[in-house]
Structure 1
Amino acid sequence: MRSVQRIKALGAKTSATCGPSNIAFVQSLGADHVIDYSGKDFMVGLDRFDVIFDAVGKSSFVSCRPLLAPGGTYVTTLPTPSLFFWSGVQSIAGIFRNAKRAKGILVRPSGKDLAYLCQLADEGKLRPTISLTCSLDRAAEAHEASEAGHTRGKIVFEV
């Protein structure tokens, strides 16, 4: 969800996917267009995108490729062996103009990035979302909530 806010802070037009119960919430984060992924064939009829950012690993380059504009890029935080295969193929195809690309990213701690996120928060462009606050003795409950995939934000433990 923070991805929507960070992308908006860069001045980009954003589309985001979510279930029906989160549409208003995702709109409140700044998404210009919200797509309900619970509908049958929800990807049919969508515009083409310059970038598709899969922050949760629910899609693949192959499934998103038809939605990419010429020269578009699919980015995921959970690279798979198939993504590395497509990265090799695109290296060969890269000699052609407007080839679609796939990239995997791994996030590492960075003081510079943290300072930038703090600046966005200070400017009101990044609002932290907390789903659950609990003591450490409720860690199992918090873990179950996270694994179920129905949390809107971060889980905070009181120490």
Structure 2
Amino acid sequence: MKAMFYDKYGPPEVLKLIEMEKPIPKDNQVLVKIQASSVNYGNLVLLKGVPYLSRLAFGLLKPKYTIPGGDIAGRVEAVGKDIKQLQPGDEVFGDLSGCGWGGFAEYVAVPEDVLVLKPVNISFVEAAAVPMAAVTALQALRDKGQIKSRQKVLINGASGGVGTFAVQIAKSLGAEVTGVCSTRNLDILRSIGADHVIDYTKEDFTKKTQSYDLILAVNGYHPISAYKRALNSHGRYVMVGGGGAQFTEALVQGPFISLTGNKKMGNMLQRANQKDLIFMKELLENGKVKPVIDRTYNLSEAHEALRYFEEGHSQGKVIITM
């Protein structure tokens, strides 16, 4: 099979397209012929080993996982003897970030419990866009943000991969949603159901009189004090993306602010979760959420896909097809 392989940390150029043996599934594994994968921030962390703290999990001096790619969508080709739910021919999608990665390849062998049957009403390309980004948005809004119906929710960085899912998930949960993005992305947010849109090139939502019950910061940068100002008296702020300074403030100052007042502020790290992916499958099947796809690249163009994603201006998801 073909796979994107790397054996040293660095920029996207360290990836090499190689031929390697197709994996043989163990008794508790499923062999998936991958049709599409997608690019996420975690792929860049895996590839570069930055922030350096991540190397405790990914390998101190050289990569522990040599094929990146967390999200996959594909077709089951073979199953181990202990597999109970899936069978050859099933169309599936899933998040491999908790079981060794490996999505930038033509095949992968993984445990059954990281996969979910693909909704029949979406393509492999659309399905590959879902797992990491959508589950991140879901966990941030529902679990960390404790979103409730009729709340006023603001999503900063609403036009990217996580952001476009967050807008739709928040709407499906009954919130009144404001999306923040650049001028060129305003129509995208309106098309996926945002009640209000703010063009950050023209106005700063942290300096307006409107306050919010929940703010989800996916991209962009404002100091944590500005986010605090934009929350109502019992509001919540959840950071899942953005610059290093924003991450540090949420990690260090967030807990202190949360302990000393009624506003709750902090960050969240996504965890692969089959139940959450099943929840997203139902939203997809019901038409309440639809993946927004920016660009697709072939596997051999993975370097270009990662470079484009790294620029930070993608409109929805960046997909790699096999």
- Judge conservation of contact 1:57–1:77 (CA < 8 Å) in 2: no
How far off its partner does 1:104 sit?
Answer: 1.2
State yes or no: 1:71 paired with 2:234. yes
Matches within 5 A, 1:10-159: 10-56=173-219, 58-78=221-241, 80-94=247-261, 99-159=262-322
Worse-superposed segment, 44-53 or 110-119: 44-53
Per the TM alignment, residue 42 of structure 1 is displaced from its structure 2 partner at its CA by 4.8
Whether the aligned pair in 2 keeps the contact of 1:75 and 1:103 (CA below 8 Å) is yes
For normalisation by structure 2, the TM-score amounts to: 0.45
Runs of 4+ residues deviating >3 angstroms: 40-43
Q: Measure how far apart 1:124 and its partner are.
A: 0.5
% identical equivalent positions: 32
Aligned-partner Cα distance in 1 for 2:314–2:197: 18
Contact 2:237 2:265 in 1 (8 A): yes
Give distance in 2, aligned partners of 1:88 and 1:54: 16
> Taking structure 1 as reference, are residues 138 and 71 closer, same or farther at Cα in structure 2, changes over 3 Å only?
same
Determine if contact 1:53/1:76 at 8 Å carries over to the other structure.
Answer: yes
CA contact (8 A) 1:57 1:76 kept: no
Counterpart amino acid of residue 251 in structure 2? F
Contact 2:207 2:230 in 1 (8 A): no
Q: 1:76 to 1:89 in 2, by over 3 A?
A: same
CA distance in 1, matches of 2:258, 2:214: 18
Measure the CA separation in 2 of the matches of 1:91 and 1:58.
20
Of the structure 1 ranges 61-70 and 37-46, higher mean CA displacement relative to structure 2 is found in 37-46
Secondary structure of the residue that 1:14 maps to in structure 2?
A: strand
Q: Deviations over 1:27-54 (max 9, x none)?
A: 1111100000001545432410011001
When structure 1 is superposed on structure 2, of 32-41 and 12-21 the one drifting more is 32-41
Offset of residue 127 of structure 1:
0.3
Task: Identify, as 1 or 2, the structure richer in helix.
Answer: 1
The superposition leaves residues 40-84 of structure 1 with CA deviations (integer Å, 9 ceiling, x where unpaired) of 545432410011001225334222111110011111114733223
The TM-score, its normalising length taken from structure 1, stands at 0.88
Residues 50-59 or 83-92, more deviating:
83-92
**Structure 2 runs not aligned, ≥5 long:** 1-163
RMSD value over aligned CA atoms? 1.8
Number of equivalenced pairs: 155
In our comparison, the structure showing a higher alpha carbon Rg is 2
Is the 1:14–1:33 Cα contact (8 Å) retained in structure 2?
A: yes
Gaps of 5+ in 1: none
The 1:9–1:60 alpha-carbon spacing in structure 2 relative to 1, beyond 3 Å, is farther
